[in-house]
Amino acid sequence: MKKTKILRNLWYGLSSNQRFLIRRLYYLPVDLFDKITGKTNKYVPPRGCIYTGSPSSAENYLKQGDFQLELLIEEIDLMPSDKVLDIGSGVGRTAIALTTYLDKSGSYDGFDVVKKGVDWCNSGIGNDFPNFKFKYVSLFNDLYNTSKNSALDFVFPYQDNSFTKIFTFSVFTHMMLEEIQHYFKEIQRVLTKDGQCFSTFFLYDSEDEDYAGTRAHLNFPKKGDDGFRLMHENVKSGNIAIHKTKLDNMLKTAGLIRVKTIDGFWKDEVQDLSKKEYQDIVIFKSI
């Protein structure tokens, strides 16, 4: 526990650019080996450029994207003809899988606060698939972006009722509560009346809050004033956990309602193998 805290303080004490550089240098040898041995993929970035999720080989990266696609099909009935919005598109983990699933009547839009991720996706996926579009949005996030533009003022660059399905993987785990609330309102605006949203969170309730704050590995020791806990008090976007009641109230405020929750295994002392996803999954729609 003490060692974890020390390492966490060191990591979060760095700037976002420093963290990107260290990651790039750390994985440089294996990235060079992958290139020499031909174990790369046109759409998969080098491990050192993967800033969301776990850096992995091209083969495993593609498998992770396929798994996310399976979750979307199973939980929100994603169809090949859907108009899809990916909030926090990263370096294309899910988008790659969707290129072989969405048909010509379907479409994909994604946006992200990290320009290098958007540029990577546009140069590969966006260049080869005309119905896949990626946008860079310059917003402050103390984990990823030093921009002075606030997420609280950001209006999604899409018309009302534009998307039948919206999803976020590990996005609302890296935003402050008021930013999440604003995004909920924007989701409600651009989602069609019968559309659904799939999002992952770190959730807790009154029964397991103490455990979430003190567990040995991933934990949230800093308690907020209003239904949330932080992994690190100085990097508020580092990781956030939200009380389930607070989440329901936030969704209701935005004109949304939670219709299903699938517990992840992040809190399991012994992993429940029946659970598919590490984070908690929430399915919601307009009221």
Mean pLDDT confidence for 38-64: 91
Mean pLDDT confidence for 30-38: 94
Asked, for residue 123, whether it belongs to a domain, the answer is yes
pLDDT for position 51: 82
pLDDT for position 35: 93
Asked, for residue 167, whether it belongs to a domain, the answer is yes
Asked, for residue 157, whether it belongs to a domain, the answer is yes
Mean pLDDT confidence for 166-183: 95
Averaged confidence pLDDT in the chain = 90
pLDDT for position 155: 96
Asked, for residue 1, whether it belongs to a domain, the answer is no
For 205-262, the pLDDT digits (tens) are 999 999 898 888 789 999 988 899 998 776 556 689 999 999 999 999 999 999 999 9
Asked, for residue 45, whether it belongs to a domain, the answer is no
Asked, for residue 91, whether it belongs to a domain, the answer is yes
Asked, for residue 63, whether it belongs to a domain, the answer is yes
Asked, for residue 43, whether it belongs to a domain, the answer is no
Domain that holds residue 138: 57-286
Angle subtended by helix axes 177-190 and 244-253, to nearest 10: 50
Question: Model pTM greater than 0.75?
Answer: yes
Mean pLDDT confidence for 144-168: 88
Residue 22 clears pLDDT 90, i.e. is over it = no
What lies within 8 Å, CB to CB, of 51 at 6+ separation is 20, 23, 90, 91, 114, 117, 144
pLDDT for position 143: 54
pLDDT for position 27: 92
User: Taking the CB of residue 117, how many other CB atoms lie within 10 A of it?
Assistant: 24
Give the CATH number, domain containing residue 281: 3.40.50.150
Domain count, the chain: 1
